[in-house]
């Protein structure tokens, strides 16, 4: 999967199976897991964005297209 041209997302290893996620240089969340159990993506407040093998893709979409005008 190639990253979208409209995003500037960087994954930086934090510890085995944990990566900090940065969007345009700002820390926005984490992805953790492995290829056996899948991955869990979390936002900066540690709330789950998704679990399983599609969670990283869903999280990238959420991080790249925040809905700041939609509270709650």
Closest to 11 in 3D by CA, of 2, 1, 21: 21
Residue 1 belongs to a domain: no
Domain limits for position 28? 9-64
Residue with tokens 């893709």: 57
**pLDDT per residue as tens, the chain (72 positions):** 455 555 688 889 999 889 998 988 999 999 888 877 778 888 899 988 877 766 667 777 777 765 554 444
Residues in Cβ contact with 4 at an 8 Å cutoff, skipping those fewer than 6 apart: 60, 64
Sign of CA dihedral 10, 42, 46, 37: negative
For the question of whether the overall pTM of this predicted structure is more than 0.75, the answer is no
pLDDT score of 20:
93
Residue 39 belongs to a domain: yes
Instruction: State the total domains in the chain.
Output: 1
pLDDT score of 71:
45
The tokens for 32 are 């953790």
CB-based contact 42:21 (threshold 8 Å): no
């Amino acid at each position: 999967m190639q990253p979208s041209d409209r995003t500037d997302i960087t994954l930086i290893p934090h510890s085995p199976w944990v990566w900090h996620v940065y969007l345009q240089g700002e820390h926005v969340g984490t992805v953790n897991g492995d290829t056996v159990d899948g991955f869990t993506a979390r936002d900066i407040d540690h709330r789950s964005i998704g679990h399983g093998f599609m969670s990283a893709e869903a999280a990238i979409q959420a991080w790249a297209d925040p809905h700041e005008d939609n509270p709650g």
